[in-house]
Amino acid sequence: MARILVVDDDMINRKLLNVLLKKSGYTDVIEAENGKEALAIIQAEPIDMILLDIIMPEMNGIDLLKILKKDEKFKNIPVAILTTDDSKKTEALNIGACAVLIKPIKEPDLNALLAANL
């Protein structure tokens, strides 16, 4: 079963994604509040996919995405950016995000993303 890391500073968004993922059969879900916490998790254990918010304290999603895509060990982990503002969409895709989903995340969009990347 795929291990999915949900990174968002908003607890409600994390819980919503967790519910949607479990409803779709993905039960191995880990949560992080910011990019710094997420990086520590990624370095400590295998992750199959990352759902990553952009605007967060400590380390934002774009900065974490840059770190991951420059690292040979992590560059192949699919990272989907989650945002309320699609102005960063092009930048995120150019850095290496596999997709950009606009919040609120809709279940069919999330399922299509998972099917395409896991």
* Residue written as token pair 């059969």: 25
Q: Report the pLDDT value the prediction gives residue 98, as an integer from 0 to 100.
A: 97
The tally of domains found in the chain comes to 1
Q: Report the pLDDT value the prediction gives residue 1, as an integer from 0 to 100.
A: 83
How many angstroms separate the CA atoms of 67 and 20, rounded? 27
Q: Report the pLDDT value the prediction gives residue 51, as an integer from 0 to 100.
A: 98
Query: Residue 73: inside a domain, yes or no?
Result: yes
Averaged over successive runs of 10 residues, the pLDDT of the chain (118 residues) comes to 95 95 96 97 97 93 97 97 88 96 93 95
Query: Residue 94: inside a domain, yes or no?
Result: yes
How many angstroms separate the CA atoms of 111 and 96, rounded? 20
Query: Residue 66: inside a domain, yes or no?
Result: yes
Query: Residue 39: inside a domain, yes or no?
Result: yes
Q: Report the pLDDT value the prediction gives residue 86, as an integer from 0 to 100.
A: 80
Query: Residue 50: inside a domain, yes or no?
Result: yes
Query: Residue 96: inside a domain, yes or no?
Result: yes
What's the CATH code of the domain at 11? 3.40.50.2300
Query: Residue 78: inside a domain, yes or no?
Result: yes
Query: Residue 117: inside a domain, yes or no?
Result: no
Q: Report the pLDDT value the prediction gives residue 15, as an integer from 0 to 100.
A: 95
Domain that holds residue 81: 3-108
Whole-angstrom distance between the N-terminal and C-terminal Cα of the chain?
10
One-letter identity of residue 53 = D
In sequence order, what DSSP letters do the residues of 40-89 get, joined into one string? Answer: HHHHHS--SEEEEESS-SSS-HHHHHHHHHH-TTTTTS-EEEEES-GGGH
